[in-house]
Amino acid sequence: MRLNFNEGEVHMGARDDEVRPKLGRIRDRKAGKTLPYISRVLRSAEKAAPGRLRQTSRFTGARIGRGGAQGTLAATNRRAPGRRRVVVKTRIVRLKGSDLGAARTHLRYIQRDGVTREGAPGELYDAAGDRADGKAFIERSAGDRHQFRFIVAAEDGAELADLKPFIRDLMRQMEQDLGTRLDWVAADHFNTGHPHTHVVLRGKDQRGKDLVIARDYIAHGMRGRASDLVTRELGPETELDTLRKLEREVDQDRFTRLDRAILRDATDGMLALAAKPERDPHRHAVRMGRLRTLERMGLAHEPQPGVWRLNAGLEAVRNVQPRLPCLVFGATPASPGFWPRRRVKPVRREAMNC
């Protein structure tokens, strides 16, 4: 018998055990549909960079709310050379229904005496003028679920003649990014080494609905917009400007960019200078100066030449600083010291001179 598998024929021959199969294309009946184009692109990208896409595509909720796309873009972009730095501290405060006592207290706090260049009380302003009615703002806030409170501090803010245009441009840019008009008031403070602005934003959009801002935008987008505005106003930061700022950070009693670079280059608390050399002699000098400063503070020591052991307190400073909004650019809290030798308790903003 001879079988033809493709044509489905059976022929009887002289020998019943003679089989001559004629093989055709192998068919997989269980094969699924062709993958979409985007799926094939993602699969190819995953093969080219294993683990990266899988890691970044995990859902975190950081994009929920307005401005998610702009915040994600700002988070992925590295700091461009010459871009000036701006610190933005954010606090979201839940309002207790009709009880707006805490909101009134905060407005009085940012308008307290001695915060202007002349030592006068702070003055509220908004998008429309240089004198805003704080009482009317509180009345409009009745029924709001929450309130946003920002502290915006440009590193080179002292070079800005007036902070009001900068803040208005920033809030106008935020309105474009978030797709809604914003109701806010602000007050500039000049009572520290670096000028900064307190901004209070209502938690309602122009339609009266709760204003939800994406976490990525709060963490990265707003700071990126502010940095672009300052860079546009003052021009790009030169390499000489950067080195001068690093030199000023050598003796600072706070966590600095030099400390961040030292921790980044260290392995298990040990920094071998030969393994991570600074080819620029000026940068090498400021790094060594910072290490000597940390040694005097008890946060680092040199067990052998060229090898430094970092104290766990240095890492503790980096971890605790985000909870102390005014510990930036040389501002100091009212309580003595902040280099932690033990667990640091959170400091109330009202207790700090900022």
Residue type, 330: G
CA-to-CA distance for 124 and 184, rounded, in angstroms?
A: 10
What is the per-residue pLDDT for 353?
44
**Domain contains 59:** no
Q: Residue 138, class by beta-carbon neighbours within 10 Å (0-12 exposed, 13-18 middle, 19+ buried)?
A: middle
The answer on 78 and 193 residing in a single domain is yes
State residue 147 phi and psi, 5-degree precision. -145, 140
Find the angle CA(258)-CA(249)-CA(276) to the nearest 5 degrees: 20
The answer on 76 and 224 residing in a single domain is yes
Distances, alpha carbon 112 to alpha carbons 122, 123, 155, 308, in Å: 6, 9, 23, 46
The answer on 115 and 96 residing in a single domain is yes
The answer on 245 and 277 residing in a single domain is yes
CA-to-CA distance for 115 and 192, rounded, in angstroms?
A: 8
Find the angle CA(289)-CA(291)-CA(292) to the nearest 5 degrees: 65
Number of domains in the chain: 2
**Domain contains 49:** no
The answer on 279 and 147 residing in a single domain is no
The 10s digit of each residue's pLDDT in 47-57 is 665 544 444 55
**Domain contains 296:** yes
**Domain contains 57:** no
Three-state SS string over the chain comes to CEEECCCCEEECCCCCCCCCCCCCCCCCCCCCCCCCHHHHHHHHHHHHCCCHHHHHCCCCCCCCCECHHHHHHHHHCCCCCCCCCEEEEEEEEECECCECHHHHHHHHHHCCCCCCCCCCCCCCECCCCCCCCHHHHHHHCCCCCEEEEEEEEECCHHHCCCHHHHHHHHHHHHHHHHCCCCCEEEEEECCCCCCEEEEEEECECCCCCECCECHHHHHHHHHHHHHHHHHHHHCCCCHHHHHHHHHHCCCCCCCCHHHHHHHHHCECCEEECCCCCCCCHHHHHHHHHHHHHHHHCCCEEEEECCEEEECHHHHHHHHHHHHCCCCCCCCCCCCCCCCCCCCCCCCCHHHCCC
Q: Of the residues 234, 256, 283, which one is the last residue of a structural domain?
A: 234
CA-to-CA distance for 284 and 261, rounded, in angstroms?
A: 12
Question: Could you give the strand order of the β-sheet that contains 184-189, starting from the edge strand earlier in sequence?
Answer: 86-94, 146-154, 196-202, 184-189
The 10s digit of each residue's pLDDT in 152-198 is 999 888 888 899 999 999 999 999 999 999 999 999 999 887 899 99
Q: What is the pTM of this model?
A: 0.65
**Domain contains 43:** no
**Mean pLDDT, residues 106-121 taken together:** 89
Q: Of the residues 234, 253, 269, which one is the last residue of a structural domain?
A: 234
Instruction: Flag whether pLDDT at 339 surpasses 60.
Output: no
The answer on 287 and 218 residing in a single domain is no
The answer on 181 and 125 residing in a single domain is yes
- The pair of three-digit structure tokens given for residue 218, joined into one six-digit string: 């709060």
The answer on 199 and 89 residing in a single domain is yes
CA-to-CA distance for 310 and 219, rounded, in angstroms?
A: 29
- The pair of three-digit structure tokens given for residue 48, joined into one six-digit string: 């080219």
- The pair of three-digit structure tokens given for residue 344, joined into one six-digit string: 């640091």
Range of the domain at 128: 68-234
**Domain contains 297:** yes
**Domain contains 253:** yes
Q: What percent of the chain has a predicted confidence (pLDDT) above 70?
A: 72
pLDDT band at 336 (very low <50, low <70, confident <90, very high): very low
The answer on 245 and 230 residing in a single domain is no
Tokens 């595509």 locate to 57
Give the dihedral sign, CA 215/218/221/224.
negative
The answer on 293 and 318 residing in a single domain is yes
State residue 300 phi and psi, 5-degree precision. -160, 155
Q: Of the residues 186, 209, 234, which one is the last residue of a structural domain?
A: 234
**Domain contains 171:** yes
Higher-pLDDT residue of 188 and 327 is: 188
Instruction: Flag whether pLDDT at 130 surpasses 90.
Output: yes
Residue 75's CATH number? 3.30.930.30
The answer on 245 and 224 residing in a single domain is no
The answer on 317 and 206 residing in a single domain is no
